[in-house]
Amino acid sequence: GNSVTQMEGPVTLSEEAFLTINCTYTATGYPSLFWYVQYPGEGLQLLLKATKADDKGSNKGFEATYRKETTSFHLEKGSVQVSDSAVYFCALKIKAAGNKLTFGGGTRVLVKP
Amino acid sequence: GAGVSQSPRYKVAKRGQDVALRCDPISGHVSLFWYQQALGQGPEFLTYFQNEAQLDKSGLPSDRFFAERPEGSVSTLKIQRTQQEDSAVYLCASSLERGANTGELFFGEGSRLTVL
């Protein structure tokens, strides 16, 4: 089946620190990969995506590269801010398997000033 | 409003009661999804609508769960004879496209169901 595994949180960082959240996947087909973010009191929203191997998704200073050889899509940001405190979800979608997203368990990130 | 709206935001039910959760998607969005999110977990797919047609209900955990979208806009998720294991946040998401091909879903804030 299809599944997503991401590092457990919480991850606590100081402002301006480097953030990495690991995400690996198992898929029966060729997936598109996504990172969604949930800020406190808000719904999930798309942060970035990549649809084929070696693509790099980027948004708001975050980046993730689709690595087919390691089945990974790690999220990185070079200098985090307090406003980046949120729960981050890695997800995949396989068109041939329907239209649903398969999510990882989420990683809570807390950035302290 | 401009976003996906869900109601009620919080629902407490006694075991065995029926509940109905409502989702108002973004106007004009063709695709609508329901997800279940247990505490500390990621969202799990329940069902998918394209307009009024329910094209995938493979994630519904039992026949106590029923979803409808009769006019292709508002959707209702109904849970009959609620059990404690049904306690979760129920998320609704919509997408402009058929099949949500880009993968960009717009989520509501969810309805938190607690079954006592």
pLDDT tens series, chain A, 113 aa: 899 999 888 999 999 999 999 999 999 888 999 999 999 988 999 999 999 999 999 999 999 999 999 999 999 999 999 999 999 999 999 877 667 899 999 999 999 99
Distance in Å, alpha carbon of B15 to nearest chain A alpha carbon: 27
Q: Residue B57 in contact with residue B75, Cβ under 8 Å?
A: no
Residue B1 has pLDDT above 60, yes or no: no
Mean per-residue pLDDT for B36-48? 94
Would you state the structure tokens that stand for residue A39, as one six-digit string?
A: 């800020």
Degrees (nearest 5) of the Cα angle B24, B28, B31?
A: 75
Count how many pairs of residues, chain A against chain B, have C-beta atoms within 8 Å.
67
Q: Residue B17 in contact with residue B113, Cβ under 8 Å?
A: no
Distance in Å, alpha carbon of B104 to nearest chain A alpha carbon: 6
Distance in Å, alpha carbon of A113 to nearest chain B alpha carbon: 25
**Backbone angles phi and psi of B86, in degrees to 5:** -80, -10
Please provide the distance, in angstroms rounded to a whole number, between the alpha carbons at the two ends of chain A. Answer: 41
Would you state the structure tokens that stand for residue A107, as one six-digit string?
A: 């990683």
Would you state the structure tokens that stand for residue B7, as one six-digit string?
A: 């109601």
Residue B55 has pLDDT above 70, yes or no: yes
A42 touches chain B (CB under 8 A): yes
Mean per-residue pLDDT for B82-95? 96
Kindly identify which residue of chain B lies nearest to residue A41, measuring between CA atoms: B109
> What is the C-alpha separation between A5 and A19, in angstroms, rounded?
17
A4 and B42: CB-CB below 8 Å?
A: yes
